[in-house]
Amino acid sequence: MFMFTIKEILKATGGRLIAGRADLSVAGVSTDTRLVKRRQVFVAIKGDNFDGHHFLAEAVRKGARAVVISTRDVEVPVGAVAVLVDDTVKALGRIALYHRRRFHIPVIAITGSAGKTSTKELVAAVMAKKYRVLFNKGTENNHIGVPMTLLKLTPRHQAAVIEMGTNHPGEIAWLAENTLPTAAIFTNVGASHLEGLGTLQGVYKEKLALLKYVSRDGHVIVNADDPFWARLLKKRLSQKVVSYGIKAKAQVSAVAVTADGRGIRFKTKSGRLVTVKSPSWGAVQNALAAIVCGRIFHVPEEKVVQAIRRAKPAKGRQCLIKVRGVTLIDDTYNANPVSYENALRTLMMLQCQGRVILVAADMLELGKFSEGLHRDVGHQAARADIDALWTCGNKARLIGRAAREKKSEIDVRHFDEQPALVEALKGYLCSGDLLLCKGSRGMRMERVVQDLVTFLKG
């Protein structure tokens, strides 16, 4: 575990020492009393359910040597060092920045409306072919997850891959300021988190804030298929810009894209065959971003391709499950308009002998645009040549209605509850069918996939 002197913590956070000595050291940082270790500094953070300030005694009992707090209205445990700051979340970011500055390694930041985690996994797999890589676990991409990931940097690491997410303005700038990336990947701009970010332009501006913090001699890696990010290709930037894409003219591009029940494959301009385990169109873009990183950081191309071929899709991101002749695509991790479009492309690309079925649940956090965006998905579904569109959830009902307005032959059905949906699907699915199941995280559609798999295996 990495050491900090209290003096360094004070310097990093601009805080004031209100108890204990500045010449002591701490061995790492924790924000969670369940995970706190001996001699760490405990940063008290107020979350949705708990306020760390109420757990100072427990943290110290478990071995924390110091606490970072934002109020004097708490009892500092006897013997502990206490640092008072204005805002403990900001203090955590600044401690992470202080630590980040200790390392002179490539740090690749990834942002966009969809595909961050999937891209992160592929980029990390590619980079791991040559370097010892640190990357955020799961989706720990916010103002707590990013600093806590950076705080795991040790001299062993030779590169870091950091996913950055946002649901309110200013978050990406803050994360980037504390991460100081040497390269940035911009995946796409779509109607994600509109509740907090307002409009598509708002989403673009929010994510663009990352650019300012990418080192001037670093790299900016841009999805040229995305109309927002393509704008960057016309700008004069101090960083080196590298583009990737399928449709648009890009420096690193894919041709001859085909998908089947095992995943998706394509060729690079140089003629190398690349296969990805997830059958999604977006997965091609994500793989291209990873290929770009491989080139920039000198990972031999055959190893890049091998890493991409072996990488398993992250849980719930278009994972293929074949059971008793039925192909299920588990895309239940999350949903927004960009990833719905991606899902419909997948259904159009894959060949199947039976029926093509989309099981769609709500997209959440879209604010006042919600209704229109659900209807848009319905219209796209009507164009996608699917046979059945079964919905679950109040908002998703609109997807079905909009699809039927455009194309009356689609078998549209709505279910208020998941168990009824599952029961109906059990009676409906036949060998040869292709079914993709999707919805926002809060809709928990993975339960539908699990029940179907259990039933089909039964």
* Contact residues: Mg ion, CB under 5 A: 116-117, 139
Residue 445 CB, shortest distance to ligand ATP, in Å, is: 11
Q: Does 253 bind ligand ATP (CB under 6 A)?
A: no
Give the span between the Cα atoms of 194 and 208, in whole angstroms: 16
Q: Which of 115, 181, 294, 393 binds ligand ATP (CB under 6 A)?
A: 115
Q: Which helix (H) or strand (E) holds 39?
A: none
Scan residues 151-170 and list those touching ligand ATP (CB under 6 A).
165
C-alpha to C-alpha distance for 135 and 223, rounded to whole angstroms: 21
Residue 115's binding partner out of ligand ATP, Mg ion, none, with CB under 5 to 8 Å set by partner kind = ligand ATP
Nearer to Mg ion, 141 or 327 (CB): 141
Question: What does the DSSP assignment read for 43-60?
Answer: E--B-SS-BGGGGHHHHH
Least Å from the CB of residue 334 to Mg ion: 8
407 binds ligand ATP (CB under 6 A): no
Number of residues that bind ligand ATP (CB under 6 A): 23
Q: Residue 279 CB, nearest distance to ligand ATP (Å)?
A: 10
**What span, in angstroms and rounded, lies between the C-alpha atoms of 304 and 290?**
8
Binding ligand ATP by CB under 6 A: which of 39, 90, 97, 139? 139
In the DSSP assignment, the letter for residue 154 is -
**Near ligand ATP by CB under 6 A: residue from 94, 99, 100, 116:** 116
- Of residues 115 and 294, the one with the C-beta less far from Mg ion: 115
Chain centroid to Cα 75, Å, comes to 38
Smallest distance, ligand ATP to C-beta of residue 338, A: 5
Euclidean distance between CA atoms 267 and 256, whole angstroms: 6
Q: Build a one-symbol-per-residue string for 311-340: x at contacts with ligand ATP by CB under 6 A, - elsewhere.
A: ---x--xx------------x-xx---xx-
The residue (of 52 and 165) whose beta carbon lies closer to ligand ATP is 165
Amino acid sitting at position 336: N
What's the min distance (Å) between Cβ of 184 and ligand ATP? 14
Two tokens, residue 72: 């004097």
Query: Where do the DSSP E strands lie in 235-355?
Result: 240-245, 252-260, 263-268, 273-276, 319-323, 326-331
Kindly give, in sequence order, each residue whose CB lies less than 8 Å from that of residue 240, ignoring residues fewer than 6 positions away: 217, 218, 219, 220
Strands annotated E in 189-293: 219-223, 240-245, 252-260, 263-268, 273-276
- CA gyration radius, the chain: 24
Q: Which is nearer to Mg ion, 5 or 139 (CB)?
A: 139
Q: Which runs of consecutive H residues, i.e. helices, occur in 332-369?
A: 337-349
Q: How far is the CB of 126 from ligand ATP (least distance, A)?
A: 16
Answer for which of 13, 118, 149, 391 binds ligand ATP (CB under 6 A) is 118
Taking CB under 6 A as the criterion, the residue among 282, 393, 400, 439 binding ligand ATP is 282
Task: Find the shortest distance in angstroms from Cβ 118 to ligand ATP.
Answer: 3
Interface residue with ligand ATP among 342, 380, 391, 418 (CB under 6 A) is 342
For residue 343, give every residue at least 6 positions away whose Cβ sits within 8 Å of its Cβ, in sequence order, or none: 280, 318, 329, 331, 335, 358, 436, 438
286 contributes a contact to ligand ATP by CB under 6 A: yes
- Rounded Cα–Cα distance for residues 376 and 360 (Å): 13
Q: Does 187 bind ligand ATP (CB under 6 A)?
A: yes
Instruction: Please give the angle made by the CA atoms of 331, 336 and 337, to the nearest 5 degrees.
Output: 110
Residue from 188, 239, 370, 440 that binds ligand ATP (CB under 6 A)? 188
How far are the Cα atoms of 50, 65, 74, 86, 225 from residue 71, in angstroms, in the given order?
Answer: 15, 18, 7, 8, 48
CB of 226 to ligand ATP, least distance (A): 9
117 binds ligand ATP (CB under 6 A): yes
Position closest to Mg ion via CB: 117
CB of 314 to Mg ion, least distance (A): 8
What are the residues binding ligand ATP (CB under 6 A)?
A: 114-118, 139, 141, 165, 187-188, 280, 282, 285-286, 314, 317-318, 331, 333-334, 338-339, 342
